[in-house]
Amino acid sequence: MLLEIPSQSAIRYQTTRVKEKAAPKSVNEEVGFLLRLIGDAGEALRARLRRDKVLKRKVSQNVARAYTETEKEKMLALAKDSSSRKSGSPAIYPLALALNAGRRDAEIRTLTWS
């Protein structure tokens, strides 16, 4: 059975997911999965969305870069200063660990300090 699925349904889904703060790459993968799941009707909808250039959300191509020595020194100075004052943020001090141990932020956040 071939169903006619309006393009607006997929576009509305994409818009809703982005408003929910889903990453554009995730939205693209979800839409692709749903269209494959639907089968032939999904392939027809994929062709229409591709033709109208609305099949995929634009994905950021930001590439991470390494901190310069000057940037590292400034961050470490800030971390040291913050740890010596009660008004400083306690969350910034583990920065020294991140810079020296090469740990990711999630790894550092889940450490048990004793």
Query: Per residue of the chain (114 residues), what is the pLDDT tens digit?
Result: 556 778 888 899 999 998 998 888 889 999 999 888 888 888 888 888 999 898 888 887 776 777 788 988 887 787 777 655 555 566 666 666 676 677 776 777 777 766
Which of the 8 DSSP states describes residue 112?
A: P
What is the model's pLDDT at position 2? Answer: 55
In sequence order, what E strands does the chain have?
none
pTM > 0.75: yes or no: no
Give me the amino acid identity at 74: K
Q: For residues 6 and 15, give the distance between their C-alpha atoms in angstroms, rounded to a whole number.
A: 15
- Contact (Cβ atoms closer than 8 angstroms) between residue 79 and residue 108: no
